Structure 1
Amino acid sequence: MNFDLHGFGPALWAGTLMTIQLAVASVACGLVLGLLGALAKTSRSRILRLLGDTYSTLVRGVPELLWVLLIFYGSVGAVQAVGEAIGKPQLELSPFAAGVLALALCFGAYATEVFRGAVLAIPRGHREAGLALGMSRRRIFWRLVLPQMWRIALPGLGNLFMILMKDTALVSVVGLNEVMRQTQVAVTSTKQPFTFFMVAAAIYLGLTVISMLALHVFEKRANRGFVRSAA
């Protein structure tokens, strides 16, 4: 089927690139938050465990759209105060930055539980073997725990990334020119909602397929040297 884009093709392409940038930046920040959250929840420190539980429970209990709105509009006063302190009273948080913060915050909360499950799945004997070999706890984490944790957590993280890719559409409510924002502009201008919403659906589907192929490559690489048990 040939879709008449009425000259909105370049705008949709630009929106697609913005969506990719938003998703990549959010997942990069979210992985860091998720790893820190998992380490906190599996820590021996009661305070760190409480902080990790509070973060994951609080963030997962509030819809992603609300986090986008809260961060974008709620940060106005704080950002202006910082701007006045550094001599830039017009300083403000961009929609892209607000979207990255909100999506990373939500991704990190769910990734916390994925990483936590992966840490608990690693046999305790592996750490004990590292200690017996005279390895420090830091070296055990980087050389023994982290590679195995990444391998176990990768399928779950892949599912979270698929959800994150579609959640980027929520950032359109604060004016970021990603796929859905550009699609809405095209629909308003041409009065052809079915055509442009179908194009947007095809774009998201294409991004999802590409992401699935990339995740398959990552999983295959992470599982080198491991033999899966037969069902």
Structure 2
Amino acid sequence: MTADVINWGLLALEPPGWGGVLLAGLFNSIKIAIGGYSLGLVLGTGGACGKLYGGPVVKDLMEIYTTLVRAVPELVLILLLYYAGTDVLNRAAAALGYGTVNISGLAAGIFVIGVVQGAYATEVLRGAILAVPAGQIEAARAYGMSPLLTLRRVTLPAMLPHAIPGLSNLWLISTKDTALLAVVGFSELTLVTRQAAGATKAYMLFFCAAGALYLLLTLVSNLIIRFIEARARRGWAAPS
């Protein structure tokens, strides 16, 4: 396909161009990625603490959670959590005397991505905490620090540089996982790209444009991640 047969006007921001629709889809993808990633961090922090410091029951539950989520393909999990989860919620609401619960696509997408991200974040954070030298934690206890104060002043700052590479990968994965929500009809970038390509038959143009937007998101994310990593590693000795 040469430049003279590509209708670049289809990417215009105003109709009949689809550029505005693509940007709206990208914005929706970013919202889901941020929400799901944040929820995943919360679940991952709780899961890591449960695996390391919880009782036998808590450790077993966390092990089941991480094993199941990491074993089942993400597309299957999305379909299961989206459809089966909504059905279970509506049945529970009906049993309690409430009507049908309408769950927004944004909330459902954030929940699904968050559950998936939480399982992987659990292992990333658990490994990062284990990488903190035991002597630092013992020194904090010797100074009389409470467990919570030790966690805030010693464990978290020391484990952050170890966790950032894994967490940054999870963020990039979350931006790509939003594309899987197209199968449940949520208007993120991949779905609106398919709609635009189907309506105009300009498949190459629109899917290349979507790929460029995903690439741009990744490049911007990498710049932010490098800045955060440089801040977290201040005071560390440079590798020889």
When normalised by structure 1's length, the TM-score is 0.93
| Residue 33 of structure 2, aligned match among 14, 23, 39 | 23
Q: Give the letter for the 2:38 counterpart.
A: A
Alignment correspondent of 2:185: 175
Alignment correspondent of 1:74: 84
RMSD between superposed Cα atoms in Å: 1.7
Taking the aligned partners of 2:231 and 2:86, their CA distance within structure 1 comes to 44
Alignment correspondent of 1:120: 130
| Residue 155 of structure 1, aligned match among 160, 165, 182 | 165
Alignment correspondent of 1:4: 9
1:130 aligns with 2:135: no
Superposed CA deviations along residues 31-83 of structure 1, whole A, max 9, x for unmatched, are 01111111111125222221221111110001111111111110233332454
Taking the aligned partners of 2:224 and 2:96, their CA distance within structure 1 comes to 42
1:108 aligns with 2:79: no
Alignment correspondent of 2:56: 46
When normalised by structure 2's length, the TM-score is 0.90
Taking the aligned partners of 1:40 and 1:228, their CA distance within structure 2 comes to 34
Contact 1:72 1:93 in 2 (8 A): no
Alignment correspondent of 2:201: 191
Alignment correspondent of 1:97: 107
Taking the aligned partners of 1:101 and 1:11, their CA distance within structure 2 comes to 24
Alignment gaps of 5+ in structure 2? 11-15
Identity %: 41
Superposed CA deviations along residues 74-104 of structure 1, whole A, max 9, x for unmatched, are 0233332454477752322222222211111
Q: Give the letter for the 1:53 counterpart.
A: E
Alignment correspondent of 2:218: 208
Alignment correspondent of 2:13: none
Alignment correspondent of 1:64: 74
Alignment gaps of 5+ in structure 1? none
